[in-house]
Amino acid sequence: MANPTPRGIRNNNPLNIRKGNDWQGEVQPQTDKAFEQFVSMEMGLRAGFIIIRNYFKKRPAVNTITTIISRWAPPSENVTTEYIREVSRRSGIGPDEPLKFDEKNKLCRIVQAMCWVECGQEVSFGRIENAYEMAKR
């Protein structure tokens, strides 16, 4: 019988970060061939915030829901327009509203909405806020 828990939740990786970096808090050894596995949900979310923080540092900055999701979930792998629409709807933030990484509440709402799109399951806002603070250190 298949496990009904979404892969991203089982992996403590609710943003479905693909393998490719050595992250703090990775499970060792990794058993998922495609996606990172983390020791806790907060560590998986922390990695996501670090990736998003790096987007903000790009020139030109990747700093709207549209630009973040277009990079995170490219059309070659996703229905990016629907992803953007759902994250904007769930977060209450316009798809082209300029953002700053230090806007904690907005970034946490966006990541919470991204988790929903990725896994179809709610991740608690408190865990997301904790991960944001961990990523800032």
Which pLDDT tens digit goes with each residue over 75-84? Answer: 998 999 999 9
Which pLDDT tens digit goes with each residue over 101-127? Answer: 999 999 999 999 999 999 999 999 999
pLDDT of residue 126: 97
- Alpha-helical segments (H) within the chain: 7-10, 41-57, 65-72, 80-91, 104-119, 125-136
Residue 2 predicted with pLDDT over 70: no
Residues 105 and 50: their CA atoms lie apart, in Å, by 16
pLDDT of residue 32: 96
Q: pTM higher than 0.75 for the full model? A: yes
pLDDT of residue 4: 87
Taking the domains of the chain in order of start, what are their residue ranges?
7-136
Which pLDDT tens digit goes with each residue over 44-90? Answer: 999 999 999 999 998 888 999 999 999 999 999 899 999 999 999 99
